[in-house]
């Protein structure tokens, strides 16, 4: 039999390479390859034993009860989970170090324990004293949850096997857990995968929900949460800028609920607080009557969210102009600038362009095109947008403004927050008349970007005429 060779495994995506190289061919990341001992070869234990039991195949029809849920009592978290944790399932919570993963899980664990369920919190990163200090800060010292500091998988499994009525187990973090049977260091792909598989198997067998914390690392010294995504039932990412108080919890995979659902939190001195009305929060610091600002009526998951988009143009000091984007796709910005130049006759090429989504939110919706365009045109003409107006619509390469989903929900949210006007794509009636807009909102249906630009040009004319 050929001798097993060590291989080099990308700590970001898990791809194996026969020899070391600077860049992973599979995912394109640099410096993420680490040497790992091979997995044992030969037939697996199941094939060796032979003579398995025949499984029974059934039809698709039949009744199945919804899975039993364990509400965490934190409404924003429960919504992202699709209605609470599911018994005998595994959830991965990923995010940058220091973003608040331990904080929210300690808060959730305390709520579940307070509801009379057995909760075990295994901390591999912090000593018991540190977790107690945090609990003190969060006002949770009276919580009946059980706490342990451990990193050896054998110890954790042995302890969990002795538990008969555990409802929730938190492992903070999976990258600190290690199995002594493997040669590779804790945090490598092999360790993280093997330990997670064992813990998830135990959760399914024993019927408790397990939450694994996984740090996102840019350096590639630890295996990222990505290598675990296919093993768990749900993956939540905790996002946000450490400079901002806002934290967004986003479901990217969920076998028991919708993905792209977000929960919004605010980091305070006493832990994470739920934000029930994110639009009001994201617009709180908006200042009316400045050019380069437009309000986008977006949809995050099932929820409409209004955010302010800010653009700034400044004359470029030679060389190629700068394009700086925070919270949006820079390729999309370049496309919009090209459309404004080629289809609407604006000249922006000599300017540095800065674009910012206020509040630290990241927007992925193409529906933001029209709002970004409004902010850019407003900045270029130095005319403020109407402060009571929201914008949404996708922009195509010929400058046409295209339909987006859930226009009614966006308009309702805008009306709720006191907006009185909306610039949006032409509404095409699907089999009859288009739904009536919510009361109090005037609609400006726009078919082409040139119409949007014309509105600002008109503003210029009006102001010039009004001037003495």
Question: Which residues would be at the binding site for Mg ion (CB under 5 A)?
Answer: 102
In the bound complex, what is the minimum distance in angstroms from residue 100's beta carbon to ligand TYD?
A: 4
Contacting range for ligand TYD; rule: CB under 6 A; set: 269-277, 309-317, 384-392, 426-434: 269-277
Contact between 217 and ligand TYD (CB under 6 A)? no
* Using rule CB under 6 A, residue 102 touches ligand TYD: yes
97 binding ligand TYD? (CB under 6 A)? yes
Pair 348, 340: CB distance under 8 Å = yes
* Per-position x/- string for 407-436, each x denoting binding to ligand TYD as judged by CB under 6 A, each - no binding: ------------------------------
For tokens 């365009």, name the residue. Answer: 373
Q: Which of 218, 119, 251, 239 is nearest to 172 (CA)?
A: 119
Number of residues located near ligand TYD, criterion CB under 6 A? 15
- 243 part of the interface to ligand TYD, by CB under 6 A: no
106 phi and psi angles, rounded to 5 deg: -65, -40
Nearest CB to Mg ion, comparing residues 101 and 193 = 101
Which one of 52, 243, 269, 431 is in contact with ligand TYD (CB under 6 A)? 269
User: Contact between 132 and ligand TYD (CB under 6 A)?
Assistant: no
**Which tokens is 118 given?**
């057995």
Question: How far apart are CB 272 and ligand TYD at their closest, in Å?
Answer: 7
Nearer to ligand TYD, 101 or 332 (CB): 101
Taking the complex as a whole, the smallest distance from the CB of residue 149 to Mg ion amounts, in Å, to 13
Closest CB to Mg ion: residue number = 102
Q: Is the CB of 226 or the CB of 332 nearer to ligand TYD?
A: 226
Query: Least separation, in Å, of the C-beta of 212 and Mg ion?
Result: 12
What's the number of CA atoms in the CB half-sphere (13 Å) around residue 374? Answer: 30
Nearest distance, CB of residue 197 and ligand TYD, angstroms: 23
- Smallest distance from ligand TYD to CB 96, Å: 7
Q: Does the footprint of ligand TYD cover residue 206 (CB under 6 A)?
A: no
Under rule CB under 6 A, residue 271 binds ligand TYD: yes
Nearer to ligand TYD, 135 or 160 (CB): 135
Nearer to Mg ion, 102 or 385 (CB): 102
- Residue 267 binds ligand TYD, judged by CB under 6 A: yes
Q: Is 98 an interacting residue with respect to ligand TYD (CB under 6 A)? A: yes
Q: Contacting ligand TYD (CB under 6 A), which of 17, 134, 204, 362?
A: 134
- Whichever of 187 and 384 has its CB closer to ligand TYD, that residue is 187
In the complex, least distance from residue 332 CB atom to ligand TYD, rounded to whole angstroms: 29
CB 9 within 8 A of CB 33: yes
Note whether 446 binds ligand TYD by CB under 6 A: no
Of Mg ion, ligand TYD, none, which one sits near residue 137, judging by CB under 5 to 8 A according to partner kind? ligand TYD
Alpha carbons 112 and 72: distance in angstroms, whole number: 5
Quick one: what does residue 68 bind among ligand TYD, Mg ion, none, with the CB cut-off 5 to 8 Å set by partner type?
none
Q: Does 136 bind ligand TYD (CB under 6 A)?
A: no
Joined tokens for residue 289: 């009557």
CA 138/CA 123 separation, integer angstroms: 17
3-state secondary structure the chain: CCCCCCEEEECCCCCEECCCCCECCCCCCECCEEEECCCCCCCCHHHHHCCCCCCCCCCCCCCCCCCCEECCCCHHHHHHHCCCEECCCEEEEEECCCCCHHHHHHHHHHHHHHCCCEEEEEECCCCHHHHHHHHHHCCCCCCCCEEEECCEHHHHHHHHHCCCCEEEEEEECHHHCECCCCCCCCCCHHHHHHHHHHHHHHHHHHCCEEEEEEECCCCCCCCCHHHHCCCCCEEEEEECCCCCCEEEEEEEEECCCCCCCEEEEEEECCEEEECCCHHHHHCCCCCCCCCCEEEEEEEECCEEEEEEEEEEEEECCCCCCCEEEECCCHHHHHHHHHHHHHHHCCCCCCEEEEEEECCCCCCCCHHHHHHHHHHHHHHHHCCCCCCCEEECCEECCCCEEECCCCHHHHHHHHHHCCCCEEEEECCCCCCCCCCCCCCCCEEEEECEHHHHHHHHHHHHHHHHHHCC
Q: Say how many CA atoms lie within 13 Å of 419 toward its Cβ.
A: 31
How far is residue 391's CA from residue 145's CA, in Å, rounded to a whole number?
Answer: 47
Q: If binding is defined by CB under 6 A, does position 14 make contact with ligand TYD?
A: no
Stretch that binds ligand TYD, among 54-62, 266-274, 344-352, 410-418 (CB under 6 A): 266-274
What is the nearest approach in angstroms of ligand TYD to the Cβ of residue 143? 14
Q: Figure out which of the listed residues 17, 132, 137, 323 binds ligand TYD, where binding follows CB under 6 A.
A: 137
> Minimum CB separation from ligand TYD for residue 211, in Å?
12
Q: Does 250 bind ligand TYD (CB under 6 A)?
A: no
103 near ligand TYD (CB under 6 A): yes
Q: Which of Mg ion, ligand TYD, none binds 98 (CB below 5-8 Å, type-dependent)? A: ligand TYD
Interacting residues with ligand TYD (CB under 6 A): 95, 97-103, 134, 137-138, 267, 269-271
């Amino acid at each position: 039999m050929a001798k097993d060779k060590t291989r080099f495994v990308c700590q970001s995506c898990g791809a194996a390479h026969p020899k070391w190289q600077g860049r992973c061919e599979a995912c394109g990341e640099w410096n993420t390859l680490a040497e790992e001992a091979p997995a044992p070869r030969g037939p697996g234990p199941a094939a060796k034993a032979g003579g398995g039991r025949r499984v029974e195949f059934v039809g698709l029809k039949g009744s199945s009860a919804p899975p039993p849920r364990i509400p965490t009592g934190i409404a924003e978290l429960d919504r992202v989970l699709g209605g609470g944790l599911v018994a005998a399932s595994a959830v991965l919570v990923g995010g940058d170090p220091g973003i608040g993963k331990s904080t929210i899980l300690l808060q959730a664990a305390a709520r579940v324990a307070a509801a009379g369920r057995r909760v075990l919190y295994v901390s591999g990163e912090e000593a018991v004293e540190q977790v107690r200090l945090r609990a003190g800060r969060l006002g949770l010292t009276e919580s009946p949850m059980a706490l342990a500091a451990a990193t050896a998988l054998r110890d954790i499994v042995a302890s969990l096997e002795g538990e008969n009525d555990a409802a929730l187990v938190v492992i903070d973090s999976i990258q600190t857990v290690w199995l002594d049977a493997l040669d590779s260091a804790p945090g490598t792909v092999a360790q993280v995968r093997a330990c997670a598989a064992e813990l998830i198997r135990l959760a399914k067998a024993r019927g408790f929900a397990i939450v694994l914390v996984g740090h996102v690392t840019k350096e590639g010294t630890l295996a990222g949460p990505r290598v675990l995504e296919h093993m768990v039932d749900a993956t939540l990412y905790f996002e946000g800028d450490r400079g901002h108080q806002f934290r967004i919890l986003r479901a990217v995979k969920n076998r028991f609920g919708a993905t792209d659902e977000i929960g919004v939190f605010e980091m305070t001195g006493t832990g994470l607080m739920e934000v029930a009305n994110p639009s009001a929060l994201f617009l709180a610091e908006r200042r009316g009557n400045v050019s380069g600002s437009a309000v986008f009526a977006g949809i995050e998951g099932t929820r409409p969210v209004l955010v302010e988009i800010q653009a700034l143009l400044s004359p470029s000091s030679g060389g190629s102009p700068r394009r700086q984007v925070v919270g949006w796709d820079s390729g999309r910005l370049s496309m919009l600038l090209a459309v404004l130049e080629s289809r609407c006759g604006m000249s922006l090429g000599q300017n540095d362009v800065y674009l910012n989504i206020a509040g630290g939110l990241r927007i992925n919706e193409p529906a933001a095109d029209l709002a970004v365009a409004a902010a850019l045109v407003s900045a270029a003409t130095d005319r403020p947008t109407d402060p009571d107006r929201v914008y949404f619509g996708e922009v195509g390469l010929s400058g046409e403004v295209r339909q987006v989903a859930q226009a009614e929900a966006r308009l309702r949210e805008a009306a709720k927050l006191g907006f009185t006007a909306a610039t949006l794509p032409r509404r095409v009636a699907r089999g009859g008349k288009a739904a009536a807009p919510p009361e109090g909102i005037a609609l400006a249906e726009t078919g082409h970007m040139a119409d949007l630009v014309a509105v600002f040009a008109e503003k210029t004319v009006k102001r010039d005429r009004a001037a003495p």
